[in-house]
Structure formats: structure tokens, C-alpha cells
Amino acid sequence: MKETDLKLLKLMRTRGHTPAAEKAVQLVAKSGENGYLWFGIGLAGAVLDPPRRKQWLFSSLIGPLAIGLNFGIKLIAKRPRPVLEGLPPLGGAPSSLSFPSAHATASFAAATAMSRIRPELRLALFGAAAIMAATRPYLGMHYPSDVVVGAALGSVLGGTVPLPAGNDRA
């Protein structure tokens, strides 16, 4: 498993890299810091979907809360971030701990919770979560397994967090 993880990381770190692609991926990843993207999507949902305002506002907090839970797991796992000779990471991080990916955890937690509010948005929400998660090994910040476990953890979290009833008025 460890060999496969490293091979996949090297593949993601060396394929599809142009200055424009790297800049775009860095911008996407930056929007995921601290769950900001998901917080913003939740606030937009609250404005655009008044009958479900409470649910959207609550779901906007799931990304940032997932990051806190994720950090606790990182402290227990203590897996260092990947180091690839000749391929330095293309970004910074608040800690040297890698497992699991906070971007993946927050993104999949929010996508899961938000898709419970508006199931017709499921494809867009999970598509955005998958893109956010894929930025991490592309930038050399995480092993692919960090992302897979983060996505699974986030999916469970987003599916189990209770959402308040909607406002029931337009």
C-alpha cells in the first residue's frame, strides 16, 4: 500500500503540471483553507434558499468544524507530509502533519451535509469536493491515502451531523 501511495503521489506531482495549471490548482486549494469555500457556499445557500436558511447556515459551519476534528486525528497519527526528492511541495501548510487531509475532510463533510439539504446539487457539491481533495497530492502536500481517508471521514461526519429543520417559508 505504501509503495502504491508513493507511486500515485509521484504521478500526480509530475503529470499535468504547467505554470498556469499549478497557479489554478493553488488558487482552488487556497479557497479550501479553513473550510472558507464551504462556509461561503453555505452562506450563499442561506441567502438563495430562504426556506432552508437554518440548514444552510448550520452546514456552513461543518467544514471549519471538520478541520478541528481532523487536526485532532493528525496529532494522534503523526504522519509527516510527503517529501519527494527534487519535487518540493507547491504550497505551505499550518503543520507538518499529513494524515488525514483536512481539505478532503472539510470538503466531503460539507458536500455530504449540503447535498442532504438540496439533493439535486449532489453532483456539483461532490465534484467540487473531489477537485479540492485532488489538489492536495497534485501540490505535493498529501499522500493520496491522506485524501481518501479524509474524504471518507468527511462523508461520515457530513452524514451524521443533525441539520435543523428548515424555516418552511419562502
Question: Which one of 16-20, 63-67, 87-91, 123-127 scores highest in mean pLDDT?
Answer: 123-127
| Structural domain includes residue 79 | yes
Scanning the chain, the segments in alpha helix (DSSP H) are: 2-14, 19-31, 36-48, 53-60, 62-77, 102-117, 122-138, 144-160
What is the domain-level CATH number for residue 120?
A: 1.20.144.10
| Structural domain includes residue 167 | no
Domain enclosing residue 125, as ranges: 2-83+96-160
If one counts the domains in the chain, the total is: 1
| Structural domain includes residue 89 | no
| Structural domain includes residue 153 | yes
Do residues 60 and 41 make contact, with C-beta atoms less than 8 angstroms apart? yes
Q: What's residue 166's pLDDT?
A: 60
- Give pLDDT tens digits for 111-169: 999 999 999 999 999 999 999 999 999 999 999 999 999 999 999 999 987 777 765 44
Q: What's residue 170's pLDDT?
A: 39
- Give pLDDT tens digits for 6-56: 999 998 999 888 999 999 999 999 888 888 899 999 999 999 999 999 999
| Structural domain includes residue 169 | no
| Structural domain includes residue 148 | yes
| Structural domain includes residue 42 | yes
| Structural domain includes residue 26 | yes
| pTM of the entire predicted model | 0.91
Find the mean pLDDT for residues 52-69.
Answer: 90
Specify the amino acid at residue 32: G
